[in-house]
Amino acid sequence: MQKKKTYAIFGLGRYGTAVARELVGNGKEVIAVDSDQKTVNDAAAYLPVCKCADVTDAEVISRLGIGSIDTVIVCMASNLEASVMAVTLCKEAGVKTVIAKCANEMHQKILLRVGADQVVFPENESGIRLAKNLLSSGFIDMISLSEDVSMVEIDVKDEWIGKNLIELNLRKRYGFNIVAVKKGEKVNVNVNPEQVIDAETTLIVIANTAKLGKLK
């Protein structure tokens, strides 16, 4: 049986709280951490596991068992030094994926340099959207167009390679409407159904959100 993914959220401001609540609401195992006791007490009403701790301390990272967490989201953009320390300690502890919220492009460069696997700008990416992307494993990006419909960029599955869109018949199999085919940075909206899919191809599709689970 596939191991259940685990998450840790560092910083329970509006952004971190949104990520944590969305993940918990979808049944994921989440440990939420903040340095302010009142914030932790308030969050405990809707987050099952909340800890008041200093995540810039290596002993704290070890004591919380962060090294065994699959994905850590560092949501402390207003404190660059703390973000850098948290990212560094998480990577040293062996965390596979560390995502950091940042305040500007300079902070982005610094956080990537110290080991962050992904950096997000809060003005461009809501906490709920980030959580949905994490929940939709295998999707490169997902944007909710409405409550029921999403536009998703997906990697092709191994069994699709070498076939064209007519053969794959993705609309019938998955209910997808393909709106563009992407290779590298080039996006082609004039989709040729006879185009053969290769490993570098990604598809941009519009689909019923509930049906996206068929791809997992």
Average pLDDT, the chain: 83
Q: How far apart are CA 199 and CA 157, in angstroms?
A: 8
Burial class of residue 194, CB neighbours in 10 A (0-12, 13-18, 19+) = exposed
Same domain (yes/no): 108, 11: yes
Same domain (yes/no): 118, 161: no
Same domain (yes/no): 100, 167: no
* Of residues 69, 80, 145, 143, the one with CA closest to residue 113: 80
Q: Which of 135, 156, 183 is the last residue of a domain?
A: 135
Q: Is residue 1 part of a domain?
A: no
Q: Which of 113, 135, 157 is the last residue of a domain?
A: 135
49 to 29, 34, 198, 202: CA distances (angstroms): 9, 11, 43, 37
Same domain (yes/no): 76, 151: no
Q: Is the pLDDT of residue 41 over 90?
A: yes
Backbone angles phi, psi at 98, to 5 degrees: -120, 120
Same domain (yes/no): 123, 196: no
Same domain (yes/no): 85, 187: no
Same domain (yes/no): 108, 206: no
Region at 184 (left for phi over 0; alpha for psi -120 to 50; beta for the rest): left
Same domain (yes/no): 19, 71: yes
Q: Is residue 45 part of a domain?
A: yes
9-13, 129-133, 196-200: least confident range: 129-133
158: domain CATH number is: 3.30.70.1450
Amino acid 140: pLDDT = 47
Provide mean pLDDT across the span 123-133. 58
Domain count, the chain: 2
Same domain (yes/no): 144, 172: yes
99: domain CATH number is: 3.40.50.720
Same domain (yes/no): 116, 145: no
Q: How far apart are CA 129 and CA 133, in angstroms?
A: 6
Q: Which residues pair with 141 in a beta bridge?
A: 153
Same domain (yes/no): 128, 144: no
Amino acid 1: pLDDT = 44
Q: How far apart are CA 118 and CA 131, in angstroms?
A: 13
| 54-58: Cβ within 8 A, 24+ apart | 55/10, 55/82, 55/85, 55/86, 55/89, 56/81, 56/82, 56/85, 56/86, 56/89, 58/89, 58/92
The pTM score is 0.63
Same domain (yes/no): 24, 106: yes
Domain that includes residue 147, residue range = 139-215
Q: Which of 111, 135, 159 is the last residue of a domain?
A: 135
Amino acid 44: pLDDT = 94
